[in-house]
Amino acid sequence: MTALNQHRIYYFAWVRETAGRDEEVLDLPEGSTGDAVLDYLLSTYPALEERREKLNLAINQEHADWSTPVQAGDELAVFPPVTGG
> Does the residue 43 lie in any domain?
yes
Residue 80 exposure: Cα atoms within 13 Å on the Cβ side: 13
> Does the residue 85 lie in any domain?
no
pLDDT of residue 55: 97
pTM of the model: 0.90
pLDDT of residue 67: 97
pLDDT of residue 3: 76
> Which domain does 51 fall in, by range?
4-79
Give tens-digit pLDDT for 46-82. 999 999 999 999 999 999 999 999 998 899 999 998 7
> Does the residue 14 lie in any domain?
yes
The DSSP secondary-structure symbol of 37 reads H
pLDDT of residue 85: 57
> Does the residue 84 lie in any domain?
no
Q: Which of 59, 56, 63 is nearest to 41 (CA)?
A: 56
| CATH number of the domain within which 29 lies | 3.10.20.30
The answer to whether 37 and 9 are in contact (CB under 8 A) is yes
Give tens-digit pLDDT for 20-44. 999 999 999 999 999 999 999 999 9
Phi, psi of 77 (to 5 degrees): -140, 140
